[in-house]
């Protein structure tokens, strides 16, 4: 079997572990050949690819990013890819394409699959917001980075009696804010799922100072927003690539809290630091399992599906099911977190 693999969308720690696992399983478990398309679907359309053998994937398990490069594809080029899907498969002689990516990539994968290309998807995103899989790799790494940042910020916040507003990633779902907020012992979290009241945060900080704890850390997801009328707030805008560009809720909230509290507040935007660097052991293992299962699914002819973690098992679920709606944080998970603020 000849397998094509690509990584698309935003990068994520663990992508290289999937590529490595696909190559190992394909070459040593079967007698397959693997080619890697460069820069996501662009490589598929433009004919940029290279053969991947065991040496090509040696030493990449612990490396962040992706050796294949990644890119987001404009909608018209995506349509172009879907229209020529069966021809592309024939042109490269691939029996299956394994695209590794987030919501956008999996939607594209579904389009290619519907158009007749044999596809087995592998989900990835640090946001952990893909439905149908309990976890995506990259998330554990991002939560670890944000947790460590909060641990560090607490000591400087305490020394200066400041309020630290830590902005983490999470456009539509607040999983990173929820779990790093809990693990990092934040005193408040703001998630996209539930508009926050600035009054509640002010009250929380005042109560802490009144009982002698003269600092606070608030963890806010980049996609969180205040409740209507809670504070003046500049919304995100859609950029030239069709992505929402937020106006920095962390900055805006820090300014507002400083004004209302009369205490120093500092914003810390963690940004792409959460996506870079070496994946955790958990993410390496999950990514490796996904790679193994993707190759096995291809050999069983389970196309139009993606790998998914269900409990402790990796299962194959229809791509159609995976991309219908995002997995957001349910209210009971927010209540659990709030109990320890």
Which residues are annotated binding-site positions for ATP?
Answer: 10, 72-73, 102-105
Contact 8, 81 (CB under 8 A): no
Build a one-symbol-per-residue string for 254-283: x at contacts with ligand F6P by CB under 6 A, - elsewhere: ---------------------x--------
Q: Is 304 in the site for ligand F6P (CB under 6 A)?
A: no
- Choose which of 33, 38, 39, 127 interacts with ligand F6P (CB under 6 A): 127
Q: Is 141 in the site for ligand F6P (CB under 6 A)?
A: no
Q: Is 135 in the site for ligand F6P (CB under 6 A)?
A: no
- Choose which of 4, 10, 121, 279 interacts with ligand F6P (CB under 6 A): 10
199 is catalytic: no
- Short-list 2, 96, 80, CA closest to 46: 80
- Choose which of 4, 14, 101, 170 interacts with ligand F6P (CB under 6 A): 170
Q: Is 169 in the site for ligand F6P (CB under 6 A)?
A: yes
Largest CA distance in the chain: 70
Q: Is 187 in the site for ligand F6P (CB under 6 A)?
A: no
Task: Kindly state the DSSP code that residue 68 receives in the 8-state scheme.
Answer: T
At its nearest, how many Å lie between ligand F6P and the CB of residue 43? 18
- Choose which of 34, 85, 126, 157 interacts with ligand F6P (CB under 6 A): 126
Separation CA 125–CA 137 (nearest Å): 7
Strand partners, 130: 326
Query: Parallel, antiparallel, or unpaired: how do β-strands 313-318 and 305-310 relate?
Result: antiparallel
Contact 3, 100 (CB under 8 A): no
- Grouping H, G, I as helix, E, B as strand and the rest as coil, residue 317 is strand
- Unique residue bearing structure tokens 């139009």: 304
Which residues make up the interface to ligand F6P (CB under 6 A)?
A: 10, 102, 125-127, 169-171, 222, 243, 275
């Amino acid at each position: 079997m000849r397998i094509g693999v690509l990584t698309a969308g935003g990068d994520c720690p663990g992508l290289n572990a999937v590529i490595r696992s696909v190559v190992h399983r394909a070459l040593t478990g079967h007698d397959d050949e693997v080619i890697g398309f460069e820069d996501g679907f662009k490589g598929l359309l433009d004919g940029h690819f290279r053969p991947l053998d065991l040496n090509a994937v040696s030493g990449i398990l612990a490396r962040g990013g992706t050796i294949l490069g990644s890119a987001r594809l404009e909608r018209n080029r995506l349509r172009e890819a879907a229209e020529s899907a069966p021809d592309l498969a024939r042109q490269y002689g691939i029996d299956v394409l394994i695209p590794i990516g987030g919501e956008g990539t999996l939607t594209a994968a579904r389009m290619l699959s519907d158009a007749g290309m044999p596809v087995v998807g592998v989900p990835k995103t640090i946001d952990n917001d893909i439905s149908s899989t309990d976890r995506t790799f990259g998330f554990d790494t991002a939560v670890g980075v944000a947790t460590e940042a909060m641990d560090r910020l607490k000591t400087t916040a305490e020394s200066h009696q400041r309020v630290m507003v830590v902005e983490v990633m999470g456009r539509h779902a607040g999983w990173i804010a929820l779990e790093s907020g809990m693990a990092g012992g934040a005193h408040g979290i703001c998630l996209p799922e539930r508009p926050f009241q600035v009054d509640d945060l002010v009250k929380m900080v005042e109560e802490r100072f009144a009982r002698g704890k003269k600092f606070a850390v608030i963890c806010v997801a980049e996609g969180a927003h205040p409740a209507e009328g809670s504070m003046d707030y500049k919304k995100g805008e859609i950029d030239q690539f069709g992505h929402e560009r937020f106006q920095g809720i962390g900055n805006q909230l820090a300014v507002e809290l400083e004004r209302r509290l009369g205490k120093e507040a500092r914003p810390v935007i963690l940004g792409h630091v959460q996506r870079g660097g070496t994946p955790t052991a958990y993410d390496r293992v999950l990514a490796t399992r996904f790679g193994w299962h993707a190759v096995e699914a291809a050999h069983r002819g389970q196309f139009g599906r993606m790998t998914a973690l269900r409990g402790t098992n990796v299962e194959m679920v229809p791509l159609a099911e995976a991309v219908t709606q995002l997995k957001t944080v349910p209210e009971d998970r927010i209540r659990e977190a709030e109990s320890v603020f």
